[in-house]
């Protein structure tokens, strides 16, 4: 009996892996939603089998639902992540969490119905439903934690194991399924009084399942795919932020501090952060330059071509400025057509050269792509020579901007030289 049970478990694992990998492989043709639906539709069956359906194996008593289906699901979630990305895999992770909680909530409402007997005394077993509800909730929470944990662990050990996909797959499965077995057994013991040997037998079965699925994965790579296509190099921090939707928070935060039209940092960010940037660099003995950039005759652009054309000019100038910045530069829109560029670790001569390059770039681009030639005038100031506070630095740069305007516009006036 035990031998036949082992063979049946191997057969179930092979069928599960074959079907799910076929759906994953065909996702570009039939859609990834097919894979996700197949992944999630069996969760109730997994929980049911883990609650009441056990078989005897040589090393103990196990549940096929937990051994084959749950282990397979968790490893398929990992494979979906490896094949796609964190943005794709978080969909079934959160979908399973919400869907299973929804099932439990609806069942809790359904159990309050006054039922009638129409099936020969086969009425609903609400005691069992209550037990299932508790196990569903706990199992769902564990699956959510397991799914994120196995992906994070996969990326973490990638620094040591690199290209050894099979070994990474095996270690991640073994570690996370061990954690899951301990967690689910606690609930099972609480609900149904499951004895300790059930934990041991289930753990051994999950370790064997991990080995079996790993072997099947390696065979798949050898005969149906290439290992190179599965290799990833993703920053661990970025993966975690996407899995926990934190990247949405950062995008919203980023959007809230930027000018909605040009994408440059807004005036509030200049007032809030620029003084600290200046003070930090001066304390560390590094030069800081400030450029005040003003679009020449901008009012005439609005008058001749309309405010929509003026908006396009603003967006274009901001984009050209952004594309030519260094990583230590901060661009702010501080007025209607006025920008401030705060440049860390940039002395006066470098800042004046940067300003001249930006001026020429905007002039050349506008001749070809804008309704008329657009130019900018730039005033440049450098700390600590021109001041050690943001107010003094801006005042000096603004005065030099005024000098550039007096010279006929389309000029850069810097601390040491006029270009």
Q: How many domains does the chain have?
A: 2
71-83 vs 2-25: helix axis angle to the nearest 10?
20
Whether 194 and 317 map to the same domain: the answer is no
**Could you report the per-residue pLDDT of 278-309, keeping only the tens digit for each?**
999 999 999 999 999 999 999 888 888 888 88
pLDDT exceeds 60 at position 66: yes
Q: Where are the alpha helices (DSSP H) in 225-297?
A: 236-243, 246-256, 267-283
Is residue 398 domain-resident?
yes
Lowest mean pLDDT among 101-115, 298-312, 355-369: 101-115
Whether 66 and 162 map to the same domain: the answer is yes
d(CA 24, CA 31): 9
**Could you report the per-residue pLDDT of 39-58, keeping only the tens digit for each?**
888 777 777 777 677 777 77
Whether 47 and 153 map to the same domain: the answer is yes
Tell how strand 329-333 and strand 376-383 pair up.
unpaired
Is residue 249 domain-resident?
no
User: What CATH code is carried by the domain that includes residue 332?
Assistant: 3.30.70.270
pLDDT exceeds 80 at position 178: yes
Average pLDDT of span 137-145: 86
Residue 276's region, left for phi above 0, alpha for psi from -120 to 50, else beta, is alpha
Task: Place 166 in a pLDDT band, splitting at 50, 70 and 90.
Answer: confident
| Higher pLDDT, residue 206 or 238 | 206
Q: What is the pLDDT of residue 419?
A: 42
Q: Which residue reads 């990992």 in tokens?
A: 78
Whether 149 and 52 map to the same domain: the answer is yes
Whether 186 and 303 map to the same domain: the answer is no
Cis upstream peptide for 384 (omega within 30°): yes
Whether 213 and 157 map to the same domain: the answer is yes
Whether 169 and 27 map to the same domain: the answer is yes
Whether 266 and 230 map to the same domain: the answer is no
Whether 202 and 293 map to the same domain: the answer is no
Is residue 213 domain-resident?
yes
Tell how strand 288-295 and strand 376-383 pair up.
antiparallel
What rounded mean pLDDT belongs to the chain? 85
Is residue 248 domain-resident?
no
**Could you report the per-residue pLDDT of 386-396, keeping only the tens digit for each?**
999 999 999 99
**Could you report the per-residue pLDDT of 232-270, keeping only the tens digit for each?**
667 767 777 777 766 554 555 555 678 888 989 988 889
Closest by CA to 382, choosing from 339, 412, 352, 403, is 352
Whether 306 and 219 map to the same domain: the answer is no
d(CA 401, CA 417): 13
Single out the residue in 188, 216, 234 at which a domain terminates.
Answer: 234
Percentage of the residues of the chain whose pLDDT score is greater than 90? 40
Whether 342 and 225 map to the same domain: the answer is no
Whether 210 and 272 map to the same domain: the answer is no
Instruction: Tell me the residue range of the domain where 317 lies.
Output: 262-413
Single out the residue in 214, 234, 254 at which a domain terminates.
Answer: 234
Is residue 156 domain-resident?
yes
Is residue 418 domain-resident?
no
pLDDT exceeds 80 at position 362: yes
Give the CA distances from residue 57 to residues 4, 54, 129, 308, 379, in Å, rounded to whole numbers and listed in that order.
9, 10, 28, 75, 81
Residue 312 · residue 366 · CB < 8 Å: no
Is residue 199 domain-resident?
yes
Listing DSSP states for 64-84 in one string gives: HIIIIIIHHHHHHHHHHHHHS
Is residue 76 domain-resident?
yes
pLDDT exceeds 70 at position 63: yes
| Strands laid side by side in the 376-383 sheet | 329-333, 338-344, 288-295, 376-383, 412-413
Residue 404 C-alpha from the chain's centroid = 46
Lowest mean pLDDT among 218-232, 338-352, 374-388, 389-403: 218-232
- DSSP classification of residue 258: B
Task: For the beta carbon of residue 341, count every other beta carbon within 10 angstroms.
Answer: 25
Closest by CA to 244, choosing from 380, 107, 105, 144, is 144
pLDDT exceeds 80 at position 18: yes
| Higher pLDDT, residue 100 or 321 | 321
Q: What is the pLDDT of residue 213?
A: 93
Residue 135 · residue 52 · CB < 8 Å: no
Q: What is the pLDDT of residue 83?
A: 86
């Amino acid at each position: 009996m035990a031998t036949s049970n082992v063979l049946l478990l191997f057969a179930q694992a092979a069928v599960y892996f074959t079907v799910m990998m076929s759906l994953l492989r065909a996702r570009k043709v039939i859609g990834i939603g097919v894979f996700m639906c197949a992944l999630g539709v069996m969760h109730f069956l997994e929980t049911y089998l883990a609650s009441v359906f056990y078989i005897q194996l040589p090393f103990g008593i196990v549940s096929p639902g937990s051994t084959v289906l749950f282990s397979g699901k968790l490893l398929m979630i990992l494979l979906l992540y490896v094949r796609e990305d964190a943005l794709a895999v978080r969909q079934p992770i959160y979908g399973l969490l919400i869907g299973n909680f929804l099932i439990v909530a609806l069942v809790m409402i359904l159990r309050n119905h006054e039922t009638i007997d129409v099936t020969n005394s086969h009425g609903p077993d609400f005691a069992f439903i209550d037990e299932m509800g508790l196990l569903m909730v706990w199992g769902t929470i564990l699956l959510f934690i397991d799914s994120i944990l196995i992906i994070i662990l996969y990326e973490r050990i990638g620094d040591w194991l690199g290209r050894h996909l099979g070994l990474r797959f095996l270690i991640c499965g073994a570690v996370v399924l061990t954690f899951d077995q301990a967690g689910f057994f606690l609930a099972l013991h609480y609900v149904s009084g499951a004895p300790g040997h059930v934990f041991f037998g289930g753990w051994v079965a999950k370790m064997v399942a991990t080995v079996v699925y790993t072997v099947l994965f390696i065979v798949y790579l050898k005969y149906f795919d290439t290992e190179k296509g599965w290799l990833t190099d993703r920053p661990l921090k970025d993966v975690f932020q996407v899995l926990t939707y934190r990247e949405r928070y950062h995008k919203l935060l980023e959007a809230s501090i930027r000018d909605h039209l040009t994408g440059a940092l807004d005036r509030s960010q200049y007032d809030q952060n620029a003084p600290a940037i200046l003070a930090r660099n001066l304390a560390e003995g590094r030069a800081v330059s400030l450029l005040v950039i003003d679009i020449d005759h901008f009012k005439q652009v609005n008058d001749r071509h309309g405010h929509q054309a003026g908006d396009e000019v603003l967006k274009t100038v901001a984009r050209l400025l952004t594309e030519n910045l260094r990583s230590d530069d901060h661009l702010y829109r501080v007025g209607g057509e006025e920008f401030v560029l705060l440049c860390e670790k940039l002395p006066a001569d470098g800042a004046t050269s940067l300003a001249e390059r930006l001026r020429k770039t905007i002039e050349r681009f506008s001749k070809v792509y804008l309704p008329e030639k657009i130019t900018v005038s730039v005033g440049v100031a450098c700390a600590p020579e021109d001041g050690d506070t943001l107010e003094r630095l801006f005042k000096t740069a603004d005065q030099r901007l005024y000098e550039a305007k007096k010279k006929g516009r389309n000029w850069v006036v810097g601390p040491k030289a006029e270009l």
